[in-house]
Amino acid sequence: MGFSARAQGDAAKGEALFKAKCTSCHKIDSRMTGPALGPTITSETDDKWLTKWIQNNQAVIASGDAKAKAIVAEYNGAAMTVFADLSDADVANIIAYVRADWKTIQADKAKAPAGGATAAADSAPSSLMIYGLIGVIILAFIIILVLNKVIGSLERILLGKQGLLPEEIEAATSVDRAAAFKKILKNKKLVFFCLLAFTVAGGSWQWTTLWNTNVHTGYQPVQPIKYSHQLHAGVMKIDCQYCHGGAYKSKNATIPSLNVCMNCHKTVKTESPEIHKIYDALGYDPATTKYDSTKAKPIQWVRVHNLPDLAYFNHSQHVKVGKIKCQQCHGPIQEMQEVRQYAPLTMKWCIQCHKRTEVDYKGNAYYDNMVQVHDRIKRGEKVTAAALGGIECGKCHY
């Protein structure tokens, strides 16, 4: 295959290859184990050299290439994986994806508001409104009591002017208390106000209680191993999909296998009691570096996010097709020492997101096909169910 200065590749195919081959060591926009690939690959104009480097960097280094020597020196001789299984076309696709994604990241940064955008939050009825209603009710009762006191004082003054003694006034007051209470009960406006206040307060309490039924925002269970997303995703900047590989290719994000942890923790933090819980679960002996399957047992992780059975959610549709960032649903996961449910995950919350999020249909094979099908319909051509995806396995076998 011949290369021009910039080989043309398929970014959509390159995305899948990048996530399968590169995300364990590289990110597009920031340095990880290896360099940030966005600026690195975009600044490199010789795609033929890039292809040789990606396919077999050791051979390039052995040839005495000046660029290769500079890279080895910068990374203190750390070896990069050899990808001899990648064809020239595969590498061209990966390069096309990296450049396209880096361009998108740069454009998003240019469009971002100075102070940073804040996503609209889905919230229950304001507690301030409820407390305000209760305050109005209490204030109204205080005013009624004060007015009754003032009326009583004025009545005593009037009786005094009529020549009645204080003892007679007190006796008359005591006798009339029952009658006054009955009189209050006969006051239709006061009784109506009290019933209205009680109805509003009770209705507000019931609305708030029903609104928050089965909404578990803030739920933060204790896990069997103290795994810190703040350390791994935040400080070390490990890509979410390195551990949750199912997020871009299946319905479930999947809980990572403990063998993924062992990629690093065979040698990193081996003295930690939490890491030894992983060793025990795998039946791994760090002294002999051997596994004993008879001693292996599963880790009983506690589920944090749980949608009802009536709701269908597919991670790959949102992560791969919709290009939604993990933080949009899971919050600032890179800042969480222990994972908690950030979003309410209610129907209203999901619908608000669907109303705000624009569909990025450019370069998407599915939407390109839909446009072609609609054009055929406009021309009056025959369109079968197969053209609309009717022979896809998932249409019938879900």
In a domain, 318, yes or no: yes
In a domain, 261, yes or no: yes
Identity of the amino acid at 251: K
Which of these three, 146, 177, 211, is where a domain ends? 211
Q: Is residue 264 located within the same domain as residue 334? A: yes
Q: Higher model confidence: residue 120 or residue 127?
A: 127
pLDDT at 118 over 70: no
pLDDT in tens, 15-28: 888 887 887 778 88
d(CA 113, CA 286): 50
Q: Is residue 80 located within the same domain as residue 133? A: no
Q: Is residue 276 located within the same domain as residue 380? A: no
Q: Is residue 331 located within the same domain as residue 238? A: yes
In a domain, 358, yes or no: no
- The whole-number pLDDT of residue 168 equals 56
Q: Is residue 104 located within the same domain as residue 131? A: no
pLDDT in tens, 89-117: 888 888 888 888 888 888 887 776 554 44
Which of these three, 150, 180, 211, is where a domain ends? 211
pTM of the model: 0.51
- The whole-number pLDDT of residue 119 equals 44
- The whole-number pLDDT of residue 1 equals 42
- The whole-number pLDDT of residue 59 equals 87
Total tally of structural domains belonging to the chain: 4
Range from 201-205, 270-274, 327-331, 335-339 carrying the lowest mean pLDDT: 201-205
Q: Is residue 161 located within the same domain as residue 84? A: no
Token representation of residue 181: 């209470």
In a domain, 144, yes or no: yes
178: alpha, beta or left? (left if phi > 0; alpha if psi -120 to 50): alpha
Stretch 340-353: mean pLDDT: 92
What is the Cα Rg of the chain in Å?
35
Domain that holds residue 292: 229-348
Range from 198-212, 217-231, 271-285, 344-358 carrying the lowest mean pLDDT: 198-212
| Top mean-pLDDT range of 33-42, 97-106, 218-227, 243-252 | 218-227
pLDDT at 165 over 60: no
H helices within the chain, ranges in order?
11-21, 37-43, 47-55, 57-62, 66-74, 88-111, 127-161, 166-185, 188-211, 229, 240-243, 258-265, 273-282, 315-316, 326-330, 347-356, 365-378, 393-396
- The whole-number pLDDT of residue 173 equals 58
d(CA 49, CA 51): 5
pLDDT at 75 over 50: yes
In a domain, 3, yes or no: no
Average pLDDT, the chain: 82
Q: Higher model confidence: residue 24 or residue 294?
A: 294
Stretch 153-182: mean pLDDT: 65
Residue 63: which CATH number?
1.10.760.10
Q: Is residue 107 located within the same domain as residue 131? A: no
Q: Is residue 341 located within the same domain as residue 233? A: yes
Cα–Cα distances (Å) from 314 to 247, 321, 344, in that order, read 8, 11, 17
Q: Could you tell me what percent of the chain has a pLDDT over 90?
A: 23
Confidence band for 7, pLDDT divided at 50, 70 and 90: low
In a domain, 379, yes or no: yes
| Top mean-pLDDT range of 108-117, 271-280, 305-314 | 271-280
Which of these three, 182, 211, 240, is where a domain ends? 211
d(CA 209, CA 202): 11
- The whole-number pLDDT of residue 304 equals 94
In a domain, 220, yes or no: no
pLDDT at 335 over 90: yes
- The whole-number pLDDT of residue 172 equals 56
d(CA 285, CA 228): 24
Q: Is residue 93 located within the same domain as residue 168? A: no
Confidence band for 170, pLDDT divided at 50, 70 and 90: low
Residue 265, helix vs strand vs coil: helix
Q: Is residue 196 located within the same domain as residue 95? A: no
| Top mean-pLDDT range of 103-117, 126-140, 363-377 | 363-377
Q: Is residue 206 located within the same domain as residue 278? A: no
In a domain, 38, yes or no: yes
Q: Is residue 235 located within the same domain as residue 321? A: yes
Confidence band for 201, pLDDT divided at 50, 70 and 90: confident
The residue among 359, 121, 339, 124 whose CA lies nearest residue 243 is 339
The answer for residues whose C-beta is within 8 angstroms of residue 25's C-beta and 6 or more apart is 32, 33, 34, 80, 81
